[in-house]
Amino acid sequence: MVDTDYEFKFPMRGIDRGALLRESANHVDALYGHLGANGHPQPSNEGRITRAIINDQALLPAYPDVYRISDKDFIARDKPAPVQFRELAKDFNFYWIRFPVGLKPEINWGFNMIEVRVEFNPGQPPHMRPKAYAILPKKEFQTLLGVNSSLEVSLNEKLEFEAGTGEQTLHAGTASAQLKADVSGVAKAGAGAVFGPFSYHIKKARIDHSATGMEWVFWRIDGAEFFQEDTPELVVITQVPKQTKVVAIKAELQASRYFNTGAAPWQAVVKRIPDALFGYFDKGMPLRDEKPWDITPSL
């Protein structure tokens, strides 16, 4: 059961977004009262904007990046695997899983909120389900993100994310600052690289997420304007029981906007459409994507 504190703000499952927006655009056109030769309302500029929003895209990848963390990663740093890791590794395997979010707004109006849920082996017995051991981005970075758009992130020897800026890493480890790598390349970079430090970019935004130790993760990142080039990278370090041979992930994404950041003339006319339709706009006009991933070949 998912904690209700981490439900989507406006659940889009089963809603035909395109049909809803087309109906809304027709109401917007009708409010202007200009009829064409066929007796139907002529398209208005605000109606065209409403129809354009239909073509927005917010997509999860076809397959996430997956990298197994093992003793060789510690050896690559000339360090023995810490006792905590060795003890957990008797019963669990650990994997770095990264999934980017693809955003393409149809008009020059970025998204203001991104919500993502991933669930590991849904429907399987509890003792067979992977759990989230560490999460990125995490809300503990909020203060640093308030003054920096780029953080230097590392995985410490407890497999926990820690972050700093420039040469000053919080809880600084012994890894050289010259070993920086972009987060998008970490999963493919080989032994040791997953530990960083690597450069992590994210706009100044509010970050909320579910707790670690659960069989699912939920993020809500809002308060900024997101386009494709500044979409946050999402990473989970998963703890997978060794007896678990198949790992399936159910991933869901919703991206939405703040209605009050739209053009003023468009806002004014949309507020006049029927309440049953306006409620969707007031909730941010979210669009949804869902992907099932079977990452068993990468284990």
Beta bridge partner(s), residue 155: 161
Number of domains in the chain: 1
Secondary-structure percent of the chain, ordered helix, strand, coil, rounded to 5: 30, 30, 40
pTM of the shown model: 0.83
Q: What is the mean pLDDT of residues 96-113?
A: 91
Residue 58, pLDDT score? 94
pLDDT, tens digit, for every residue of 23-56?
A: 999 999 999 866 555 657 788 999 999 999 999 9
Residue numbers of the domain that contains 199: 4-298
Question: How far is it, in rounded angstroms, from Cα 193 to Cα 229?
Answer: 24
Is residue 192 over pLDDT 60? no
What is the predicted pLDDT for the residue at 253? 96
More confident position, 151 or 107: 107
Predicted local confidence at residue 284, as pLDDT: 94
**What does the pLDDT read at residue 66?**
93
* pLDDT at 204 exceeding the cut of 80: no
Mean pLDDT of the chain: 82
Which whole number is the average pLDDT over 178-200? 47
Strands (E), the chain: 57-59, 65-69, 92-99, 102-104, 111-120, 131-136, 150-155, 161-165, 168-169, 198-201, 206-209, 216-226, 234-241, 248-256, 287-294
pLDDT at 69: 85
